[in-house]
Chain A
Amino acid sequence: MWWLSLAKASSFAPTQATKIAAEWDSLYQFLLVSSLVACALLIGGMIYFVTKYRRKTNHDKTPYISHNSMLEFIWSFVPLVLFLMMFVWGWSLYYDMRTVPSNAKEVHVYGQQWLWQFEYKNGKKLNNEFVVPVGVPVKLIMTSKDVLHSFYVPSFRIKQDVIPGRYTDLWFQAEKLGEFHVFCTEYCGLDHSKMLAKLKVVPLEEYETWLATTTELTGGPGAQIYNDKGCVACHSLDGSPKVGPSFKGAFGKNSMMDDGTEVKVDENYLRESIVNPNVKTVKGFPKAVMPSFQGQLSEEDLTAIIEFIKNQK
C-alpha cells in the first residue's frame, strides 16, 4: 500500500540500529497511519460540513439534533478499543526494552555536569565516548554525580534518566557498526546541550583487543584526578576556554576577577579555587557553576592536582 510507505518515509526517525529500534519504528508507523486516518476523518468532516452548510441567508433554519445514542456509542467505543490495542502494543515494546538479557556485558556510566564518563570492568575509563561490540547485549549501570541527566541514544530509541544517589539501567544490542550520538535529555544547566557522547560499535574481536589495551594516562596522579573528578568537563589543557578557564599557562599569571581585583595565581589561590570556588570568580566565567571539592580531595590529592595544573605550561 503506497500510503504505508509514505508513512515510513515521513517518520524521520534516525538510523535504525537495534531490533528494539525496528520494533519501535513499526509501532510508530502504525500510529502515524492511524493518526492520519483519524485526522483526515475529523478535519475532512469538519471542512466538508463547513463548506456544505455555509450560511445562505440570515434566516436559515437548522434542525434540532440534540444527540444520537447509537452514534455516540460507536464513537466512544471504537476509539476505546483502538486505544487499548495501541496501549498493549506500546506495553509489549516497553517490556522488550526493559528485559535485560542475562548475558549482557556491563558498563558503568557516570553523568556529571557536562561530561559522560564510562568505566569498564577491567578499570578502563573513557570520557564522552565508549565502545561496544556489535551483536552483543550491553547493560549500562548509570548514576549521576550531581544533578539529573538523561542518557539517550536516538538510533537505538532508548533513554533513561540518570539520577544522583541511585542506579538506573539501560540495555541495548547494537546490530549496526558505526558511530552513534548520545545526548543528555534531562535539562542539567549551562552546557546541557553540549553534554554529548559518542558510541562506537565495532566487531567483537576489535572490541576485545581495544578493551585489553589500557591507555596509560601521562601526568601522574594529578592527571588521574583531573580525569576522574571531572575537571576535564570544564577545564581544557590546550588553552581553549570551556565552561571554566583553561589550565594551560594558568599558573603564575595574574588572573582578573569579576569584582575587578587582580589575583596572582599561586598554590594558595589554586587551592582556594578548588575547595571554595565561590569565594572568587574569574572574570568572564559564570558564578557558582564550579562545584566545591571540599572534603572530596585529600591533602595529597590537592597537592597532586595543583602540581598537575602548574605543569600545564
Chain B
Amino acid sequence: MAAHVQTGKNYINEFAGLKSWLCSLDHKRIGVMYAIAVGIFFLVGGIFALLLRTELFSAGPTIMGANTYNQVMTYHGAVMVFMVIIPGIPAVLGNFFLPLHIGAKDVAFPRLNLLSWYVFMAGSILAISTLFTSKIDTGWTFYTPYSIRTSTATVTMVVAAFIMGISSILTGLNFIATTHTLRAPGMTMGRIPLFVWALYSTSILQVLATPVLGITLLLLVAERTLGIGIFDAALGGDPVLFQHFFWFYSHPAVYIMILPAMGIISEVITTFSRKTIFGYTAIAYSSLGIAAVSFFVWGHHMYVSGQSEIANVIFSALTILVGVPTAIKMFNWTATLYRGSIQFTTPMLYALGFLFLFAIGGVTGIMLALIGLDVHFHDTYFVVAHFHYVMVGGVLMALMSGMFYWLPKMSGKMYQESWARISFVFTFIGFNVTFFPQFILGSMGMPRRYFDYLPMYESLNRISTIGSYMIGFGFVVGLITVIRAIYSGPPAPANPWGGKTLEWTVASPPPHHNFDVEPVITAGPYEYR
C-alpha cells in the first residue's frame, strides 16, 4: 500500500484559499481548524498559569493583587477546561482520525461538524470577550451564591460555556452516528481501533451529560437576571443544589477528557511495541464501564458540602469502583510492552510519561475517594495536584503523544526527533517539579485558590513555580518543533511508524476522500503477526 506516495492531490492542496478552509466540510480540515483554535487557547490558558505560579512564588503580593489573582485563577481554569481539554482530543484528533480509523469517507454529518466548530468558536470568543469587560472571578466552577453576587461578566461567561456545551453535544452525536453507520465492510465493533472505542464512550457522555450543564447554566442566568430564587439562599434557593447539578455534568466531563487520552495511549503503545494490544475487549469495555459508572459518582466532590452522610458513603463506594476498570487499563498497557519491540520515539516517550503520571494520579485518586481521608484533602493543594496529574499529566501528555504520532499523517511532514525529545524531557520533568510538591502542600493543609499563604508553605511553592517555567519551556520547544516540521520538515512516508490501523494505509497527507478504494476489513486493528 506504500504506493500512495506524494504524487496526486491531498486534502491540503486539493482546494486553496482561506474560504476553502472556513467552508470546508472535510473532517480532516475541520480537525485542523480545531487544532489551531485549541492551540491558541492553550497558549492563553498557559500564560494565565504562569502568571498564577509567578504570583505564588512568594507569600504576599508578588506581581498582582488579590482581585487580579482571582480573575487569573478563574480564566486559567475556565479556558483550560472548556476550551482546551474538553474539545482537545475529540475535536482535533478525533475529527481527523475517527473516519480514517473506521474506513469512512467522512463523519456522518459533515455540515453539523462544521457547525460545531463555528458554535465552539462563538462560545470561545464570547468567553474571551469577558476579559475586556468586567472579568469574572468565580473560579471555573461558578459556585453559587458567590457567582450570583459577583461581577456581571459572569452571565456572559456562563452563556459562553453553555454555547460551547452545544458544540460538544453536536460533536458527540456526530461521532456516535459515524461509528454506528459508516464502518467499512468487515469493520465490526470488535475490530475498531481502541481510539474509536474511547471516542465512542466519550461521545455518549457528551450527549447525555452536557445538557445537564446547559440547563444548570441557564438556571443560573435566570436567577441572576430575573431574580428567581433557585440557588441563592437569600432568595429562598439552595446553594448546594447548584453543586449537585454542576458535578453531575462535570464529573463525567472528567472522563470526557481522559477517555480519549486513554484511546491515544492504546494506539501509540501498540505501534511502538509492534505488538497487538493486550486485552482488547477488557480495554474497550472498561471504557464503557467507566463512562457508565461516572454518572453516579458526582457526589465525591461534595463530601463536606453538607450533603447527607449516607449519600457520602454511597458515593465513596461507587467512586472506588471506578478504580477497577482504570487499574485494568494500566495493567493492560504494561502487559502490552511485555516481549514487545519497543521504540523510543517522541510519541512513545509521551505515552510512557502518561503511564507514569497517570499511575500517580490514579493512586492519589483512590485516596481522595475515601470519605474520611478526603475530609482533610478536600479543597487543598492535594486535590489541585491530583487533578493536574490526571488532566495535564494524563490528557496533555496523551495529546502531545497523539500530535507527534499523527503529525506526519496530518501534515505530510516528519518532525525532528531530537527537538521533540527535548520538549518531552522538559515537560515531563517540569511537570513533576511543579505538581509533586503540591501533594505535600496539600497534606500540610494549604487550601487551594489562595492568593496568599502562610510562610511555612513558601519553599514548596517556589519549587512548584520553577517547575511551571520548565513546562512552559518544554511546550514552547514542542510548538516550535511542530511548526518547523510543517514548514520545512522532510516529507513523510505513508506509514512512518509501521502502524497497522487504516490511516497508515493512505498517503500522508491523506487524499480528500480518504480512501481511493473502500477498504475491506478481515482482521482486528493490531495484527502484528
Contact = CB atoms under 8 A, between A and B. Distances in A.
A24 B276 CA distance: 44
Find the residue from A56, A96, A148, A154 having the highest chain B CB count within 10 A.
A148
Interface stretch (A79-87, A121-129, A233-241, A250-258): A79-87
A54 B348 CA distance: 12
Interface stretch (A61-69, A199-207, A300-308): A61-69
B110 interface: no
A261 B52 CA distance: 34
Nearest to B372: A93
B292 interface: no
Contacts of A147: 145-146, 149, 239
Given A185-B378, A185-B379, A11 B443 contact: yes
Contacts of B372: 23-24, 27, 89-94, 96-97
Q: What is the interface residue range for chain B against chain A? A: 35 or more
Interface string A40-59: 00110110011001111000
Contacts of B44: none
A161 B304 contact: yes
Contacts of B519: none
Contacts of A217: none
A50 B150 contact: no
Interface string B280-306: 111000000000000000000000111
A159 B304 contact: yes
Contacts of A164: 145, 233-234, 239
Contact of A53 (B305, B320, B330, B342): B342
B337 A53 contact: yes
B528 A12 contact: no
A154 B376 contact: yes
Contacts of B281: 67
Nearest to A99: B309
A150 B450 CA distance: 13
Contacts of A188: 146
B376 A24 contact: yes
Interface in A24-46: 24, 27-28, 31, 34-35, 38-39, 42-43, 45-46
Contacts of B138: 187
Contact of A163 (B70, B306, B369): B306
Interface in B93-137: 137
Interface string B367-388: 1011111111011100000000
A14 B444 contact: yes
B322 to A, nearest CB: 9
B445 A190 contact: no
A88 to B, nearest CB: 9
B19 interface: no
Contacts of A61: 341
B363 interface: yes
B280 A67 contact: yes
B18 interface: no
A249 interface: no
A158 B143 CA distance: 22
B445 A163 contact: no
B444 A193 contact: no
Contact of A94 (B137, B150, B375): B375
Given A67-B280, A164-B233, A192-B451, A62 B373 contact: no
B339 A63 contact: yes
Given A64-B528, A66-B276, A38 B359 contact: yes
Nearest to B318: A87
B512 interface: no
Contacts of A60: 274, 341
B5 interface: no
A75 B356 contact: no
B114 to A, nearest CB: 38
Given A28-B373, A46-B352, A185 B367 contact: no
A196 to B, nearest CB: 8
A87 B327 CA distance: 16
Nearest to B341: A60
A148 B143 contact: yes
A17 to B, nearest CB: 12
A241 B352 CA distance: 52
A152 B448 CA distance: 12
Given A62-B340, A166-B233, A12 B378 contact: no
A286 B137 CA distance: 13
Contact of A46 (B67, B233, B337, B379): B337
B138 to A, nearest CB: 8
Given A46-B352, A49-B340, A66-B278, 9 more contacts: A31-B370, A66-B280, A71-B335, A89-B372, A94-B313, A161-B306, A163-B233, A165-B239, A186-B379
23 contacts: A31-B366, A42-B334, A53-B340, A55-B342, A56-B341, A65-B339, A66-B278, A83-B323, A83-B366, A86-B366, A90-B369, A94-B375, A97-B372, A98-B309, A154-B445, A155-B445, A158-B375, A160-B306, A186-B379, A189-B70, A193-B449, A193-B451, A288-B151
Smallest CB-CB A-B distances: 10 pairs:
A154-B445, A93-B372, A90-B370, A165-B233, A60-B341, A35-B363, A193-B450, A49-B337, A164-B233, A94-B372
